[in-house]
Chains A and B, each alone.
Chain A
């Protein structure tokens, strides 16, 4: 399975600023996804990063707040814009390849704290 590298692994940011998180996969994958895990909570899907087109956002998430890029089949970025303390979470990316038995692995995540 493809290995996912995510960076930064953690960051502490001031409110009102923005942070861009990078997700690199070591081989081409069909789909990449971004999830958020708020403190003590489960994972919630933010959006699907589509190669060559705009990301597809889940209900409750908007492009202005979480702009996503997917310039090729191995890389994606998620930006958390105009941050507030409520954005303090772990942000994780994962990938999927075509094929029903393709497992879904995650990067180690980015632990974001907004002060």
Chain B
């Protein structure tokens, strides 16, 4: 079945540091990949997505590239801010068809704390 594995946290960085949160997946076919962010006390927001190999999703300075050869979708940001402190979830969705279509499989989440 499908699965997503994220690097364990929590991750603590100083402001303006470089961020990488690793995400690898196991899936049949060609899933779509997503990063979601959950700020303290809030719901889940879609941060970025990629639907095919070599696609790069980007938003708010965050980037992730769909690497089929390494089954990875690592999240990066060149310079984090205090306001980026949140929980980040990597997720995949089956590519098309069947009873699993549309369902999201989530990684366990990575807590990011950015200090001034």
Contacts and interface: CB of A to CB of B under 8 A. Distances in A.
Nearest to A99: B96
Contacts of A100: 32, 51, 95-96
B2 to A, nearest CB: 11
A105 B95 CA distance: 17
B46 A107 contact: no
B89 A43 contact: yes
Most A CB contacts (10 A, CB to CB) among B36, B43, B99 go to: B43
Interface in A4-62: 30-31, 33, 35, 41-45, 48, 56
A92 interface: yes
Contacts, number: 55
Given A103-B49, A105-B46, A106-B44, A33 B102 contact: yes
A31 B98 CA distance: 13
B25 interface: no
Contact of A45 (B45, B104, B108): B104
Contacts of A105: 46
B73 interface: no
A108 interface: yes
Contact of A42 (B34, B42, B49, B109): B109
B106 A43 contact: yes
A104 B43 contact: no
Interface of A: 30-31, 33, 35, 41-45, 48, 56, 90, 92, 94, 96, 100-101, 103-109
Q: Which 3 A-B pairs have the closest CB atoms?
A: A96-B102, A108-B43, A109-B43
Interface of B: 32, 34, 36, 42-46, 49, 51, 89, 93, 95-96, 99, 101-109
10 contacts: A31-B101, A33-B104, A42-B108, A48-B103, A90-B43, A100-B32, A100-B95, A103-B46, A104-B104, A106-B43
